[in-house]
A and B are shown apart, each in its own frame.
Chain A
Amino acid sequence: MRIPSELRALRELFLAGDPAPSRVVDAAYAAVARAREWSASAPLELVCDSADGPVSAPVRAGERAPAARSLSFAMPGRIVEVDFVPTVPGTLRATGMVISRTGQPPTGELVVRHGTGHSAGELDEHGAFRVDDIPSGPVSPVLRTGGAVTAAADWLVC
């Protein structure tokens, strides 16, 4: 198909005037090595996301900060509920609970992978966890038991 001259000019304009910043391209190059580090035995499937609910009114300057991003993930025999709450600008805290369908309290830790590394929180006797100082941006919760990655969720942006 012939590409109209306006589209070619727009393409040049976008590529030359607004390219992807080199730091994010470098992060993209590194993504495949990160994926190998964290290969999981099962997916942690996103089943509910508060962002998919009705859109509320825009937050105005001076109003209360945006509410938590609430996510629910499922894997065989378990549900993982995670709330990402903004703390200081650019930083999140993740709190939540791992629920076992057998009723037996799960053990291990909830790891949040993020743009620059990962942060982890131990599950308590009820399966609850808290993970602090997570940089906002791309995140992916991972359930780790016995030192091994049990299940990992797809990346999303918080």
Chain B
Amino acid sequence: MHEVGESNAGAVLLHRAADGDEAAWRELVDRHSAVVWGAARAHSATAADAEDVYQATWLRLAENLARIREPEALPGWLVTTARRESVRLAKARNRESPVGVDQAQVDVPDPGDGPESRALRSMAASRLWQAFAQLPQRCQQLLRIVAVAPETSYAQVSESLGLPRGSIGPKRRRCLTSLRERMASGGLPEEVAG
């Protein structure tokens, strides 16, 4: 029931946005901003390229709203569009397409509790990032997408990353295992290591 309700709400939002309701459009952006940004960052060479790809993806959606018939297909459409544009841009600029967050940007905000807890969280975030950064590029791309867009189906992830559909589940497991191993070897505090 929950999924049907969500799907109906998504369909209503899409229809309202397509009919020119700016509040509905803003809500669509708010709901899916992290997905588009995550896909753009996962596949762009630089943060500046990711910003351009993010903007182009929303501009494209604004002009193609009427063509999205299934609201549940929207996250996949956004991820695929952002990835394709990132890859094309990287090729056009004769660059490789590395992944990642600039180290300087991984600065998790103050959670608002005591200094010991803050220090632990900061250390945990740093170790998590270090473990993530050591993963192969394909693993980073896959984990970034499934982390920021957990509602995206394996079929959509498969299409957006250009990987065979049947490989997504096993690859996700291998990448997570590899992340856990790297975190364990880095001595990550238990509350983050889970």
Give every chain A residue within 8 A of B36 (Cβ-Cβ). 20, 28
* CB-based contact A140/B59 at 8 Å: yes
Number of A-B contacts (CB under 8 A): 162
Give every chain A residue within 8 A of B17 (Cβ-Cβ). 32
A70 CB to closest chain B CB (Å) equals 10
Tell yes or no: B60 within 8 A of A by CB.
yes
Tell yes or no: A33 within 8 A of B by CB.
yes
Cα distance, A21 to B148, chains bound together (Å): 16
A155 CB to closest chain B CB (Å) equals 4
A156-B192 CB under 8 A given contacts A10-B147, A13-B128, A15-B148: no
A132 CB to closest chain B CB (Å) equals 20
How many residues from A make CB contacts under 8 Å with B? 55
Give every chain A residue within 8 A of B61 (Cβ-Cβ). 31
Q: What 1/0 flags go to A1-15 for Cβ under 8 Å of B?
A: 101111111111111
Tell yes or no: B106 within 8 A of A by CB.
yes
* CB-based contact A25/B33 at 8 Å: yes
Cα distance, A24 to B41, chains bound together (Å): 13
A141 CB to closest chain B CB (Å) equals 13
Cα distance, A45 to B34, chains bound together (Å): 29
Tell yes or no: A158 within 8 A of B by CB.
yes
* CB-based contact B94/A56 at 8 Å: yes
Give the interface residue-count category, chain B: 35 or more
* CB-based contact A31/B33 at 8 Å: no
Report which of B59, B102, B150 forms a contact with A155, defined as CB distance below 8 A.
B59
Tell yes or no: B113 within 8 A of A by CB.
no
Cα distance, A31 to B29, chains bound together (Å): 10
Q: Which single residue of chain B is at the shortest CB-CB distance from A137?
A: B52
Report which of B95, B101, B143 forms a contact with A58, defined as CB distance below 8 A.
B95
Tell yes or no: A61 within 8 A of B by CB.
no
A157-B105 CB under 8 A given contacts A29-B29, A138-B52: no
Q: Which single residue of chain B is at the shortest CB-CB distance from A19?
A: B37
A 36-94 contacts with B by CB, 8 A: 36, 38, 49-52, 55-59, 66, 69
A residues touching B (Cβ–Cβ < 8 Å)? Answer: 1, 3-21, 23-25, 27-29, 31-36, 38, 49-52, 55-59, 66, 69, 115, 136-138, 140, 152, 154-158
User: 10 closest pairs, A vs B, by CB?
Assistant: A5-B194, A51-B92, A20-B37, A35-B62, A28-B58, A138-B56, A31-B62, A10-B147, A32-B25, A155-B59
* A to B CB contacts below 8 Å, 29 in the list: A6-B176, A6-B180, A7-B147, A12-B108, A14-B101, A14-B144, A14-B147, A14-B148, A15-B148, A16-B109, A17-B129, A23-B51, A24-B55, A28-B36, A31-B25, A31-B58, A31-B62, A32-B25, A32-B65, A34-B62, A35-B59, A49-B88, A57-B94, A137-B56, A138-B52, A138-B55, A154-B63, A155-B59, A156-B88
